[in-house]
């Protein structure tokens, strides 16, 4: 997996550009990698819901849950589907709107200094081996491309927004990810 440094886009992956991003604050480089879990509708995999949510195109009439969230303006830098397909929504050069109200090591507004990576899944089910492999590849690519991410911590959304968020959930295997990163 390679990142085009001039554009901040991954090469040879699916791209669905989200309008939900903006400039990082001046002098603020990404220093943290946040792992999320998402499925839309909740507990269902493989549909268009995630793309639609990140592109402000979620039809509130297509599922009852969508009526609750169709007003949100959110995004993430990348998504890894259950089958390992990587989709990028926002250039790594920009601030994706993935973390919401958040704090890490005394710094608030984690979107300013983080990269958000979604895994298609739920808090109450495990993730696929291929998702861990792609995640490790993506983390290695980010650490290679950006000096500020070479020693970046990997955290869950639940770590930066405790009490508000629970993803990637208790079934996310941090040890598996660490082993893959060391391989």
CB 136 within 8 A of CB 179: no
Task: Report the C-alpha gap between 177 and 151 in whole angstroms.
Answer: 15
Q: Which of 140, 143, 160, 139 shows the shortest CA–CA distance to 151?
A: 143
Q: Which tokens go with 155?
A: 């955290």
Can 118 be counted among the known catalytic residues? yes
157-174: b (≥16 Cβ within 10 Å) or e: bbbbbeeebbbbbeebee
Residues 6+ apart with CB under 8 A from 119: 35, 36, 37, 38, 79, 80, 127, 131, 135, 168, 172
> Judging by beta carbons within 10 Å of its beta carbon (0-12, 13-18, 19+), is residue 150 exposed, middle or buried?
exposed
Q: What residues form DSSP beta bridges with 36?
A: 118
Which residues are identified as catalytic? 118
């Amino acid at each position: 997996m390679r990142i085009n440094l001039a554009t901040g886009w991954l090469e040879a992956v699916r791209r669905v550009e989200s309008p939900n991003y903006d400039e990082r604050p001046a002098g603020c480089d990404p220093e943290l990698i946040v792992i999320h879990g998402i499925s839309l509708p909740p507990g269902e995999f493989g549909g268009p819901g995630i793309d639609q949510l990140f592109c402000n195109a979620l039809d509130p009439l297509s599922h009852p849950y969508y009526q609750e969230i169709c007003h949100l303006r959110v995004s993430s830098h990348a998504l890894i589907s259950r089958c390992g397909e990587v989709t990028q929504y926002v250039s790594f050069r920009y601030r994706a709107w993935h973390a919401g109200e958040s704090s890490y090591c005394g710094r608030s507004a984690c979107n300013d200094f983080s990269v958000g990576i979604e895994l298609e899944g739920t808090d109450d089910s495990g993730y696929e081996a291929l998702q861990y492999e792609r995640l490790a590849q993506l983390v290695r690519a980010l650490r290679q491309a950006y000096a500020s991410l070479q020693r970046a911590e990997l955290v869950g959304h639940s770590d930066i927004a405790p009490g508000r968020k629970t993803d990637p959930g208790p079934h996310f295997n941090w040890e598996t990810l660490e082993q893959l990163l060391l391989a």
